[in-house]
């Protein structure tokens, strides 16, 4: 039996992408990395693992619909069933949402609905709260909204800096995302 094929979308350094590659018994094959930043560190990780990439610049397209149609075509051609967002810093539009309804999942470094958007770890740190977390959720048209699949709380310690907090949150992400992906795909 052939494995379920998935795509990962990322914009940054790709530590979550790496965690998926390193995970044991992931019941899927990552066949494509979609990336909107020509210089992103995640591209080197894909290259090292021989994973095909689709890199684009949004500014070269006249609309979100235009680049998402091209992405959707690539995904279709490769028989991709699921999309996992791993630090992809763009909102997904109706083109992909309709093509992959209920099959697009995001990870976010806060206990949503608290601290959506950019720099969620910095936002929580600055807010002086005692706890933040990690959320994995299905996406909708909003920013870090959509039905929650799994959440883990992460305490903010008295002697934390933003960097130590980020390290702890990312360690949770790297464990949680492969685990949720496994459960979703095996259902
Ligand atoms: C991760 O912490 C992810 O949760 C976050 O971006 C980081 C990417 O790191 N995503 C968001 O903030 C989505 N709104 P990575 O490139 O090392 O995986």
3-state secondary structure of 100: coil
pLDDT in the model for residue 2? 74
Looking at the whole model, is its pTM more than 0.85? Answer: yes
- Calculated CA dihedral for residues 40, 90, 109, 23, nearest 10 degrees: -60
Q: Would you place residue 1 in the very low, low, confident or very high pLDDT band (cuts 50, 70, 90)?
A: low
- Region 4-186: CATH code: 3.40.50.170
- Please identify, by atom number, the ligand 1 atom nearest to the C-alpha of residue 18: 18
> What's the mean pLDDT in 99-103?
97
Q: Give the pLDDT confidence of 108-159 residue by residue, as tens digits.
A: 999 999 999 999 999 999 999 999 999 999 999 999 999 999 999 999 999 9
Residue 172 CA, ligand 1 centroid: distance in Å: 12
């Amino acid at each position: 039996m052939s494995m379920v094929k998935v795509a990962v979308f990322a914009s940054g350094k790709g530590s979550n992408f790496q965690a998926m590659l390193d995970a044991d018994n992931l019941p899927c094959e990552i066949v494509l990395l979609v990336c909107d930043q020509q210089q992103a560190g995640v591209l080197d990780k894909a290259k090292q693992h021989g994973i095909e990439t689709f890199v684009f610049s949004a500014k070269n397209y006249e609309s979100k619909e235009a680049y998402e149609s091209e992405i959707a075509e690539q995904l279709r051609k490769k028989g991709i069933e699921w999309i996992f967002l791993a630090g992809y810093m763009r909102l997904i539009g109706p083109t992909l949402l309709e093509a992959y309804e209920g099959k697009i999942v995001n990870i976010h470094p806060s206990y949503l609905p608290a601290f959506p958007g950019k720099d969620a770890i910095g936002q929580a740190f600055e807010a002086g709260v005692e706890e933040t977390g990690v959320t994995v959720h299905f996406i909708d048209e909003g920013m870090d909204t959509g039905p929650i699949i799994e959440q883990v709380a992460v305490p903010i310690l008295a002697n934390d800096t933003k960097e130590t907090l980020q390290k702890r949150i990312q360690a949770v992400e790297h464990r949680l995302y492969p685990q949720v992906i496994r459960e979703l795909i095996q259902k």
